[in-house]
Amino acid sequence: MGEDENFKHIIRVVNTDLDGSKPIVNALRKIYGVSFMFANMVCSATGVDKTKKAGTLSDDEVKKLEDAINNPLGNGAPAWMLNRRNDYETGEDKHITTADLKFIKDNDIKMMKKFKTYRGIRHMDGLPVRGQKTKSNFRKNKGNVTGVKKRPGAKSGK
């Protein structure tokens, strides 16, 4: 019964509500920009048990997790695990999460379109960017594909 008093059904980490009934390593994946491997690394770096339910964490453990997510290099994360290595503007390695990641991703796409890189042109045309074949896939929502066209004035097959 003492455990139910301290249990929180929702905890707030990095401006994201996490489900308190899930193990912390799975709950952290709800944060935009935190993958399975990154959540695993954060739990190991902070010393938090990965199988512990998110709702049973103390405020101190939540603060440690938040610090490790916001500053992974300071908590012993390798540079290859970060999602923004060698930043275009600053040249530094950093890990970006939540709305900042969406904003920077959109800006990167706009920059590619502005410089008219190959990837930017593919984004502009609404085509696949990463080298996939287009003969059979990616055919919906193109507007110019209408299927079979009939000659004007042609009689139906009946």
The share of the chain scoring above pLDDT 70, in percent, equals: 91
> Is pLDDT larger for residue 25 or for residue 144?
25
Say if 70 falls within a structural domain. Answer: yes
pLDDT confidence band for 151 (50 / 70 / 90): confident
* Domain containing residue 108: 96-134
- pLDDT confidence of residue 132: 92
Q: Is the domain of 69 the same as that of 125?
A: no
pLDDT confidence band for 1 (50 / 70 / 90): very low
CATH code assigned at 17: 1.10.8.50
- The angle at the Cα of 48, spanning 44 to 50, to the nearest 5 degrees, equals 75
Say if 124 falls within a structural domain. Answer: yes
Q: Is the domain of 16 the same as that of 66?
A: yes
pTM equals: 0.78
Mean pLDDT of the 109-135 span = 94
Tokens standing for residue 146: 């209408």
pLDDT confidence band for 143 (50 / 70 / 90): low
Query: How many CB atoms lie under 10 A from the CB of residue 86?
Result: 11
Count how many residues are written for the chain: 158
How far, CA to CA in Å, does 100 sit from each of 6, 46, 96, 128? 32, 24, 6, 24
Q: Is the domain of 38 the same as that of 74?
A: yes
Total domain count for the chain? 2
